[in-house]
């Protein structure tokens, strides 16, 4: 048997009068079914999983590029500083040689100054000796002059005194 609710094609009143068959419908009456089963929508396939993103690889690549760039920059700076250090070392060596030369010259100058001071002392001593010798020589000359005067004057007493003075002074 058909059920009017589940079979929508049967007229609604056929269940009410079971023995009568209608002669023909004058018009068709539409009665909506009380329950309409939901239409099933086609089952959508599960969306395809998106391709895995390569964000990690891209970030690592960028970091590696930056790392290599920084390494290159630091390498260039290191090379420049190494060259600069070598230049400064050469300059320091040159200045050390100059200082050693100047120290040697200072030492030689001190030695020369000491020698000059010694020579000056010797010269002063020689000058004093020469002055003393000149004074004694003057006295000797005066004694010789008085001897000569006594001989010219033929004064024997004066001559003997002059000879005594000559022996003492010279």
pLDDT, greater one: 145 or 26: 145
pLDDT at 11 over 60: no
**Any idea where the domains of the chain sit in the sequence?**
57-169
pLDDT band for position 20 (cuts 50, 70, 90): low
Q: What percent of the chain has pLDDT over 90?
A: 41
Worst-scoring range by mean pLDDT, 17-26, 111-120, 153-162?
17-26
Return the residue matching tokens 């001593």.
125
Residue 112 confidence (pLDDT): 95
118-152 pLDDT, tens per residue? 999 999 999 999 888 888 788 888 888 888 888 88
Distance between CA 135 and CA 24 in Å, rounded?
189
Mention every residue, 6+ apart, whose C-beta is less than 8 A from residue 34. Answer: 5
The CA distance from 126 to 106, in Å, is: 29
| Higher per-residue confidence, 82 vs 27 | 82
């Amino acid at each position: 048997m058909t059920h009017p609710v589940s079979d929508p094609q049967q007229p609604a009143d056929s269940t009410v009068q079971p023995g009568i068959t209608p002669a023909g419908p004058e018009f068709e009456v539409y009665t909506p079914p009380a329950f309409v089963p939901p239409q099933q929508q086609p089952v959508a396939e599960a969306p395809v999983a998106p391709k895995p993103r390569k964000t990690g690889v891209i970030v690592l690549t960028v970091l590696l590029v930056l790392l290599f760039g920084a390494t290159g920059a630091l390498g260039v700076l290191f090379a420049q500083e190494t060259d600069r250090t070598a230049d400064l070392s050469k300059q320091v060596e040159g200045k050390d040689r100059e200082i050693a030369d100047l120290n040697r010259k200072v030492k030689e100058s001190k030695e020369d100054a000491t020698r000059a001071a010694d020579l000056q002392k010797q010269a002063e001593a020689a000058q004093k000796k020469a002055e003393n010798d000149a004074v004694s020589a003057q006295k000797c000359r005066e004694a010789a002059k008085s001897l000569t005067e006594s001989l010219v004057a033929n004064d024997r007493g004066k001559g003997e005194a002059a000879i005594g003075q000559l022996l003492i002074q010279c």
